[in-house]
Homo-oligomer: A and B are copies of this chain.
Amino acid sequence: MIKQIDGWLTAPQGFVAAGVKAGIKASGKEDVAVIMSTVPAAAGAVFTQNKMCAAPVIVSREAAKQPYAQAIVVNSGCANACTGEKGLADAREMASFTAGLLDIDEKGVYVCSTGVIGHFLPMDKVRTGIADAVDKMDESEGESAALAIQTTDTFIKKIAYEFEIGGKKARIAGIAKGAGMIHPNMATMLTFITTDAAIAPDVLKRTVKAVADKSFNMVVVDGDTSTNDSMIVLANGLAENEIILSEEHPDYPIFFEAFLRAAQDLAKMIAHDGEGATKFLEVNIIGAASFADAKLAAMAIAKSPLVKTAFFGEDPNWGRIVCAAGYSGAAMQADHVTLSIGGVRLVENGLNVGVPLEELTSIMAEHDISITVDLAAGKEKATVWTCDFSYEYVKINGEYHT
């Protein structure tokens, strides 16, 4: 039984948080947050694979080597990326300063930044912001923390679920910031997830990776992977379920399911809030020779500017979709491919079925549209979420001047 509830990161027991206005963002909005578990929590994280990764990612990667962690400190308005040795020292200071105020081990503090690349953090403002956030932190300040990780997302991305595990009530909650980046250097995805379920650190770390691969790693807006992407999960065990010591534990499936559902919900919200998006697209590949192939084909379709602009124009241009699958590198039987849009079969055995245009027009007018391609090469499948490509995307990313 997994039930959606209304709540912030503080919905699971033993989590406090707050966001404050430290003056880093030119807009004057919330820009520093601290999230804390009142007891050490099993912790897992995944980070950007970008080789130009930001300083806070380097610091958080070190934190991720520890089994437990207790806090996340984050700022928006400045990515602290391409900032060299000084940037790294600043990120470390964010961790140690926070740890000092909270009287916890600094190795247990994750650091995240999002915002402009190539600028140094205004450390005076950051320190003041952290101190203010720590003062303000409690169970009722989840919303201000969520605000502080936004750049110009058009809506807050949050989710919370309650579930029963080993006879105990547990909760899992998450927030994310996505690709609603009017300020065009702010190309960062951040996700923080808290839970009071009890799970061993090594199992959690593996699970974070597995869940990321089925949620955030299946979202694409424009195919650009940022320097700062971070997903951090804290599990403090205060639900007092019997601790999950391995993937074979009978309670593991319910935990995995609740976690996956929360992560997928947030991932889909990011696609919904893609820059300039007017459509939410779900790209399903079935009949693939492997999961890797299925993802390859789905990503090629989801990233294709020709496909994305066609959906913006509400044009059922199936040729572009099968063409993208064709160049993806995935194995396929070209003369057995099928394609459906919104549940209507357009292509069968690689050939146009001849669906009347009127029938397609109403499907293409929907906001949420699913696309399913059967590669006829096996039994594996994958789903990728994305959005269309509009004038607004070009405006957002082209009209801004650094």
Copies per complex of this chain: 2
The CA-CA distance from A319 to B312 in the complex, in Å, is 28
The 8 Å CB contact of A319, one of B82, B304, B309, B317, is: B82
Nearest CB in chain B to that of A117: its residue: B319
Q: Is the Cβ of A390 less than 8 Å from the Cβ of B400?
A: no
Q: Is the Cβ of A319 less than 8 Å from the Cβ of B185?
A: yes
A334-356: which residues lie under 8 A (CB-CB) from chain B? 334-335, 337, 347, 349-352
How big is chain A's contact interface, by range? 35 or more
The 8 Å CB contact of A305, one of B224, B225, B347, is: B224
The CA-CA distance from A278 to B52 in the complex, in Å, is 29
Q: Is the Cβ of B313 less than 8 Å from the Cβ of A349?
A: no
| Chain B residues whose CB sits within 8 angstroms of the CB of A154 once the complex forms | none
The 8 Å CB contact of A402, one of B117, B317, B401, is: B317
Which listed segment binds B: A96-104, A210-218, A237-245, A391-399?
A: A391-399
Q: Is the Cβ of B351 less than 8 Å from the Cβ of A398?
A: no
Among A81, A313, A394, find the residue whose CB has the most chain B CB atoms closer than 10 A. Answer: A394
The CA-CA distance from A335 to B227 in the complex, in Å, is 14
Given contacts A227-B323, A305-B397, A391-B391, contact A402 B316 (CB under 8 A): yes
CB-defined A-B contacts under 8 Å, sample of 17:
A51-B331, A51-B334, A52-B325, A52-B332, A53-B326, A84-B349, A185-B320, A223-B303, A224-B306, A225-B323, A305-B305, A306-B397, A309-B397, A313-B400, A314-B401, A316-B402, A390-B394
